[in-house]
């Protein structure tokens, strides 16, 4: 019965979703539950391709779903003119969005998003006053040309690379701010510009993030994204913007002569109108909140669109040298010098006019136009449409209409020139929209574009090291990053990486497609992948300080309780503790005979266990016994004792925690949350936060018990230290006596010991298990190892590091194991500490960077047939000696290179060589070596029978 009811509910849901709610709307792409057509729009971003495909499939009018709200998209000039042009009142209203109300501080505020009488009053008031301040007159031209000359002053005196687009940004901001508040950003007022730009930059960076942008269409998703919630971001922006504009307004209010009939700017005119209306008892229509919102609208509309279009114009120029030649030919012929170009020259510069217009058409900076709604019932293309239905005049599709603009993707100013060589007006060029909501700053924008672009190109020629990207299939956030695979909303490239797992195939494929450097997205965060040894040396080695920082991860802070440890910490904390760890681990024998003695004690202990099972007919868990051996080595270095007798219980407890962690984090649903933490919100039984809370409690309880036990037994007066923990606690007491209670805290000690344990135990034991797996799968390799051991060692004596140079094939076998096991598919997350350039791409401080070691070790130019396990690639063919290959960077590279490398190399050599000298393995079933069957690369698990080789 329950099954039947469930089927009925599902049937009803799908019937409603795919038919009933769509039956009275124009046909269009099938919406997905919850997100509507959002994901389809951004495949690829920013939407042109999807909208063009739908226009071809469904015609000039179709329905597009934003979340669960339908919008009728009108995609041809004729249909837009029929509706927004001839029946403007029906389409004049804006479709109100929840986030706009939150941001503006109320309903129906500003000019862009207001409706009804409030919109009509303030649009009319803005148009009237902007005209009075010179919009379209000589006064405005004078103001723009002042900014042109200011740009010239800055550029003429600069001998270095300049940020050209920034200069135009400030110039356009100056023009707009004079209209609004009557002053330029100069002198002391530069502080206002810096403050405003900082807010704008924060807004731009926030809304370029796909996780944030998606919530404009599907607000409910924000409930699962606490760190990217659009409401929180809007709350922050609202406070910043409103505070900024309120300061400007109140400063103005104090300076205004309310008795004067002259107004110098929009704010002054508004405040006088406000006072006049308040005297008549109207305290609502011209409120302070409305002024704040109107100023924001005018500045956004006037600044962002114009500055963006100028930047695209310069980019198209750089990509089209023949266009630049045509422009310069016209300028030289018509202007003939460096005199300032004015609007009076416009008709004599048809190619310049055509270039700017074609820039607007091709840049097409709004893939989707603003959301309108019908004010009354109407008919669109034969479909009866109710009042309040969402409608979009899809301007971007008109400007890509191949019937009007043949080969529309091509940048061709000549399409705007007639047979007489004059500028040709094309009706379909509606870049400033159409109807009653047509851009009120159109006249100003046209004047700015002509005067800024023509004067700049008349005076200068641009040269760049790397051409700016004009590929709009990369969204705005990607345009200034190296090309890479297209990220999906919410998850980025994380899912693509696991096709197949654990990532090698995808990374190699992307390296072949995009080259040595490409951008990979972890959810909404970009990481620049560096995939070749040469590029890694250029960056992480030669310029190491720029790449030394780790990119903070949310789950790490939650697990560690802050920025602690030696693997994930940064700055002075990292430098202090890496130096302290290296110094003390060396004192405890790292790389010396003392450490070798400790490892060989574990080798002999392993032999006792295995010898007792030889000939017994009983299978042995071979990798497990190495786990104990390596664990003992590390615990002696950190806490000063082996796990034996009663202490064995402690090891089994710690192993249980690590095994649980390996099993849990091997689950793809958990692993992917490292890249997309937000998924944990919708996976209640698979949340990484819950698992980390368990580990945090259990691990720290274990290590804190060890530390406190140590503290009670230490002789603080002795200068000798038996282990790392003792050295740390003595340094802690010394610093606390000097008033420093932070740098050597208990929490930091717990985290450092945890780091040493994990880095030293898991990687080494995993590599040993893979080595044994490769032996079992490659009997010819085993035969050659045995031949070398018999020839060089010739007995069951313990092999030491002194034998290493005489065992080149053994050395080569271990090195090839590390290359092929390649146990870390994606390296740790770094970030740049300051602005830099990577492979010609300017990269800002704080950008994620990954030294992709796994791809280097699979580079077929260095390692031919890289999938083949072949130790002889590390043997010099002429001398038979071990050959060092620079690209073997299995312990990473740069300032974060593994601090336990010396210990790891010694353990691998002594454990593996002594084991293979003494025993031969036989197994019923070969261990699995196919890494595509697992989400992460773990140790090889198998059991086998052992036989002494020398008997």
DSSP state of 539: I
Q: How far apart are CA 354 and CA 365, in angstroms?
A: 18
DSSP state of 517: E
Q: How many CB atoms lie within 10 A of CB 438?
A: 13
DSSP state of 36: B
Cα–Cα nearest to 916, from 766, 767, 781, 763? 781
Q: How far apart are CA 604 and CA 56, in angstroms?
A: 75
Name 417's bridge partners: 423
Q: How far apart are CA 614 and CA 795, in angstroms?
A: 18
Sequence-distant (6+) residues with CB within 8 A of 873 are 812, 816, 863, 864, 885
Q: How far apart are CA 676 and CA 232, in angstroms?
A: 19
Within a 13 Å sphere around the CA of 139, how many CA atoms are in the beta-carbon half?
10
CA 480 to chain CA mean position, Å: 12
First-last CA distance in the chain: 70
Q: In 3-state terms, what secondary structure has residue 859?
A: coil
Q: How far apart are CA 184 and CA 190, in angstroms?
A: 8
Sequence-distant (6+) residues with CB within 8 A of 248 are 180, 181, 192, 267, 295
Q: Is residue 433 packed enough to be buried (19+ CB in 10 Å), middle (13-18) or exposed (0-12)?
A: middle
Cα–Cα nearest to 139, from 131, 148, 128, 150? 131
The response to whether 439 counts as a known ligand-binding position is yes
Q: How far apart are CA 307 and CA 802, in angstroms?
A: 68
**Whether the Cβ atoms of residue 520 and residue 493 lie closer than 8 Å to each other:** yes
Crossing angle between the packed helical segments 746-777 and 779-792, to the nearest 10 degrees: 100
Q: How far apart are CA 467 and CA 506, in angstroms?
A: 27
Q: How many CB atoms lie within 10 A of CB 922?
A: 10
Sequence-distant (6+) residues with CB within 8 A of 594 are 588
Q: How far apart are CA 817 and CA 778, in angstroms?
A: 12
Q: How many CB atoms lie within 10 A of CB 461?
A: 8
Q: In 3-state terms, what secondary structure has residue 74?
A: strand
Cα–Cα nearest to 190, from 173, 168, 165? 173
Strands 383-385 and 390-393: unpaired
Q: In 3-state terms, what secondary structure has residue 469?
A: coil
Q: How many CB atoms lie within 10 A of CB 712?
A: 6
DSSP state of 425: -
Cα–Cα nearest to 242, from 202, 288, 274? 288
DSSP state of 522: E
Sequence-distant (6+) residues with CB within 8 A of 428 are 77, 398, 399, 401, 404, 405
**Whether the Cβ atoms of residue 473 and residue 486 lie closer than 8 Å to each other:** yes
**Whether the Cβ atoms of residue 856 and residue 533 lie closer than 8 Å to each other:** yes
Q: Is the CA virtual torsion 213, 219, 221, 223 positive or negative?
A: positive
Q: How far apart are CA 762 and CA 245, in angstroms?
A: 56
Q: Annotated binding residues, as ranges?
A: 439
Q: Annotated binding residues for heme, as ranges?
A: 439
């Amino acid at each position: 019965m329950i099954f039947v009811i469930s089927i009925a509910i599902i049937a009803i849901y799908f019937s409603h979703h795919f038919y009933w709610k769509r039956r009275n709307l124009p046909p269009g792409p099938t919406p997905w539950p919850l997100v509507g057509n959002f994901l389809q729009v951004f495949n690829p971003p920013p939407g042109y391709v999807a909208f063009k495909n739908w226009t071809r499939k469904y015609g000039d009018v179709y329905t597009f779903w934003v979340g669960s709200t339908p919008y009728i998209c009108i995609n041809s000039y004729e249909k837009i003119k029929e509706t927004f042009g001839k029946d403007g009142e029906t389409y004049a209203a804006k479709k109100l969005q929840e986030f706009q109300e939150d941001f503006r501080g109320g309903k129906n505020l500003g000019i862009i998003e207001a409706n009804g009488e409030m919109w009509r009053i303030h649009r009319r008031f803005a148009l009237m006053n902007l005209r009075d301040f010179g919009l379209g007159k000589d006064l405005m031209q004078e103001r723009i040309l002042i900014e042109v000359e200011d740009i010239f002053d800055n550029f003429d005196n600069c001998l270095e690379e300049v940020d050209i687009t920034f200069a135009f940004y400030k110039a356009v901001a100056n023009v707009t701010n004079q209209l609004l508040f009557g002053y330029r950003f100069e002198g002391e007022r530069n502080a206002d510009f810096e403050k405003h730009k900082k807010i704008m930059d924060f807004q731009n960076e926030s809304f370029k993030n796909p996780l944030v942008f998606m919530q404009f269409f599907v607000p409910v998703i924000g409930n699962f994204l606490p760190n990217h919630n659009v409401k929180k971001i809007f709350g922050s922006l609202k406070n910043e913007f409103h505070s900024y504009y309120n300061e400007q307004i109140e400063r103005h209010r104090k300076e205004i002569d309310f008795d004067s009939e002259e107004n110098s700017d929009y704010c002054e005119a508004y405040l006088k109108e406000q006072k006049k209306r308040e005297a008549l008892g109207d305290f609502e229509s011209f409120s302070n909140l409305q002024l704040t919102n109107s100023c924001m609208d005018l500045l956004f509309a006037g600044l962002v669109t114009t500055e963006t279009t100028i930047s695209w114009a310069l980019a198209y120029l750089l990509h089209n040298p023949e266009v630049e030649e045509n422009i310069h030919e016209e300028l030289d012929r018509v202007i003939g010098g460096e005199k300032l170009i004015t609007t009076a020259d416009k008709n004599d510069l048809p190619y310049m006019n055509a270039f700017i217009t074609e820039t607007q058409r091709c840049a097409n900076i709004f893939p989707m136009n603003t959301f309108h709604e019908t004010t009354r019932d109407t008919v669109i293309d034969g479909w009866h449409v109710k009042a309040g239905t969402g409608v979009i005049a899809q301007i971007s599709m008109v400007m890509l209409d191949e019937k009007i603009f043949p080969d529309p993707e091509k940048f061709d100013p000549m399409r705007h020139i007639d047979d007489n060589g004059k500028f040709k007006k094309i009706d379909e060029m509606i870049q400033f929209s159409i109807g009653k909501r047509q851009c009120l700053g159109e006249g100003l924008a046209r004047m700015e574009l002509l005067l800024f672009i023509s004067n700049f190109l008349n005076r200068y020629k641009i040269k760049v090291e790397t051409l700016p990207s004009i590929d709009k299939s990369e969204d705005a956030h990607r345009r200034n990053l190296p090309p890479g695979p297209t990220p999906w909303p919410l998850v980025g490239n994380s899912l693509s990486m696991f096709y197949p797992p654990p990532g090698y195939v995808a990374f190699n494929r992307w390296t072949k497609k995009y080259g040595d450097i490409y951008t990979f997205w972890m959810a909404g965060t970009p990481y620049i992948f560096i995939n070749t040894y040469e590029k890694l040396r250029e960056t992480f080695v030669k310029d190491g300080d720029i790449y030394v920082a780790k990119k903070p991860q949310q789950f790490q802070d939650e697990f560690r309780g802050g920025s602690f440890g030696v693997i994930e910490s940064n700055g002075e904390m990292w430098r202090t503790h890496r130096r302290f760890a290296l110094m003390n681990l060396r004192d405890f024998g790292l790389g010396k005979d003392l450490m070798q003695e400790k490892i060989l004690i574990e080798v002999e202990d392993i032999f006792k266990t295995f010898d007792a099972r030889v000939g017994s007919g009983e299978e042995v868990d071979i990798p497990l016994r190495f786990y104990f051996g390596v664990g003992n080595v590390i615990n002696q270095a950190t806490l000063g004792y082996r796990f034996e007798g009663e202490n064995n219980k402690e090891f089994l407890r710690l192993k249980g925690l690590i095994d649980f962690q390996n099993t849990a984090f091997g689950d793809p649903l958990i692993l992917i949350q490292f890249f997309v933490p937000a998924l944990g919100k919708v996976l209640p039984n698979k949340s990484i936060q819950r698992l980390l809370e368990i580990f945090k409690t259990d691990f720290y309880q274990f290590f804190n018990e060890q530390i406190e036990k140590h503290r009670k037994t230490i002789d603080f007066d002795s200068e000798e230290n038996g282990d790392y923990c003792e050295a740390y606690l003595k340094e802690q007491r010394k610093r606390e006596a000097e008033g420093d209670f932070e740098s050597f805290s208990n929490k930091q000690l717990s985290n450092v010991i945890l780091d040493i344990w994990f880095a030293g135990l898991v990687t080494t034991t995993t590599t040993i298990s893979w080595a044994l797996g490769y032996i079992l799968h490659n009997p010819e390799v085993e035969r050659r190892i045995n031949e070398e051991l018999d020839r060089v060692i010739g007995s069951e004596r313990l092999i030491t590091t002194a034998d290493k140079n005489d065992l080149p094939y053994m050395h080569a076998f271990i090195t090839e194991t590390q290359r092929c096991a390649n146990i870390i598919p994606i390296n740790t997350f770094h970030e740049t500490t300051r602005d830099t350039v990577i492979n010609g791409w300017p990269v800002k401080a704080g950008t994620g960077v990954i030294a992709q070691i796994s791809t280097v070790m699979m580079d077929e130019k260095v390692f031919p047939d890289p999938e083949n396990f072949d130790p002889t690639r590390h043997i010099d063919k002429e001398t038979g000696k071990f050959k060092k290959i620079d690209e073997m960077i299995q312990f990473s590279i740069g300032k974060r290179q593994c601090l336990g490398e010396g210990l790891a190399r010694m353990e691998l050599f002594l454990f593996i060589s002594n084991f293979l000298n003494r025993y031969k393995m036989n197994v019923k079933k070969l261990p699995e070596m196919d890494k595509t069957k697992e989400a992460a690369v773990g140790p090889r698990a198998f059991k086998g029978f052992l036989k002494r080789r020398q008997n």
